[in-house]
């Protein structure tokens, strides 16, 4: 009888540890995903800051009148001026 109780106690402890392990693994996966999202946001922010500070970008002037083609062609068209 005592042996059965000890086995039952041991199995219960193992089941509890397994549940805790699965919970921790899910939390770890969630945190890793959050970390990746945050890293992407940081990289995006740094890229925009880098572009805003770039001398070549700052030296660009706004374009006057844009002319777009109206047809779906893969060949460039000559604009008459």
Closest to 16 in 3D by CA, of 4, 24, 27, 6: 24
pLDDT averaged over every residue in the chain = 85
Q: Report how far residue 25's alpha carbon sits from residue 19's, in angstroms, rounded to the nearest whole number.
A: 10
pLDDT of residue 40: 94
Q: Report the predicted TM-score, pTM, of the whole model to 2 decimal places.
A: 0.50
pLDDT under 50 in the chain at which residues? none
Q: Report how far residue 70's alpha carbon sits from residue 81's, in angstroms, rounded to the nearest whole number.
A: 18
Domain ranges of the chain: 2-57
User: Tens digit of pLDDT for each residue in 38-56?
Assistant: 999 999 888 888 888 888 8
């Amino acid at each position: 009888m005592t042996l059965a109780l000890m086995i039952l106690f041991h199995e219960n402890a193992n089941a509890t540890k397994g549940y805790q392990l699965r919970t921790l693994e899910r939390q770890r996966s969630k945190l890793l995903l959050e970390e990746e999202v945050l890293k992407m946001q940081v990289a995006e922010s740094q890229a925009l800051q880098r572009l805003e500070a770039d001398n070549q970008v700052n030296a660009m002037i706004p374009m006057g009148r844009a002319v777009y083609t109206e047809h779906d062609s893969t060949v460039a068209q000559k604009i008459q001026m």
